[in-house]
Amino acid sequence: MRQLALGVKLPDGATYANFVTGRNAELLAALTAGSNHLWLWGAAGCGKTHLLQAACAACEGPAAYLPLGDPMQLPPEALAGFEGAGVVCLDDLGSVAGDIAWERALFALFNACVEQRTRLILAAEAAPRSLPWVLEDWRSRAAACVVYQVRELDEAGRIEALRRRAAQRGLELPADTADYLMKRTARDLRSLLRLLDQLDEASLEAQRRLTVPFIRDALERT
């Protein structure tokens, strides 16, 4: 995969292989099969961004991942020309709903991707018909996508995701430690993974393993 330059660095760990499937087997099958014009929606932290970045990582040619709600605030003109990529993944489309300049840029990109037969995968926190679009032409294009809800993981799935992230970092996450994190901290996956990354850094500094006593001490210091 060659990423198109835009100042957005993709994490090394976002792949299909390390995505905990849960109730998303049909969606994952569509992504890995190369299905086009997909719209993924779901609550924050359900895995939409991971799947978009995994699609880029799996692409053999140039790939583009653009987070539209990112603080770097891309202008609508930034979308021009990406139809030449092997796959274009746009994240957080809800952040530009109602902005006519952005909707025109999305409409143009969609049409260009159709013409170039470029794979296009879009994501937002809501289905396309539920967002407040103002450009009817773009509303119809968005509604033409194959829509999948990215379903959140249950507790066992979140623990498995924690263990996989720990393994990527060369860490062992004992069952009692994972259970402690689930019971004593925020339970949404995004917060759990962010906390695990912070605990990993703290354990490296302290030269200690991720045990329940260490995590208890680290949480008390924050």
Give pLDDT tens digits for 195-209: 888 887 888 888 888
Q: At what angle do helices 155-168 and 175-184 cross, to 10 degrees?
A: 120
Q: Where in the chain is the domain with CATH 3.40.50.300?
A: 2-149
Tokens standing for residue 15 = 């792949």
pLDDT (tens digit, 9 = 90+) per residue, 156-181? Answer: 888 888 888 888 777 777 888 888 88
pLDDT at 46 over 60: yes
In this structure, the dihedral spanned by the alpha carbons of residues 214, 217, 221 and 222, taken in order and rounded to 10 degrees, is: 60
Closest CA to 200 of 171, 163, 160: 171
pLDDT at 107 over 90: yes
pLDDT at 3 over 50: no
The architecture in CATH of the region 2-149 reads 3-Layer(aba) Sandwich (3.40)
Amino acid sitting at position 157? G
Residue 87 has phi, psi (to 5 degrees) of -150, 140
Q: Where in the chain is the domain with CATH 1.10.8?
A: 155-221
Rounded-to-integer distance, Cα 193 and Cα 14, Å: 13
**H helix runs in the chain, sequence order:** 25-32, 48-58, 100-116, 136-143, 155-168, 175-184, 189-206, 212-221
Rounded-to-integer distance, Cα 109 and Cα 90, Å: 11
Higher per-residue pLDDT: 12 or 125: 125
Average pLDDT score over residue span 6-34: 82
Rounded-to-integer distance, Cα 124 and Cα 88, Å: 15
pLDDT at 10 over 70: no
Average pLDDT score over residue span 148-162: 89
pLDDT at 130 over 60: yes
CATH of domain 155-221: 1.10.8
Rounded-to-integer distance, Cα 50 and Cα 11, Å: 9
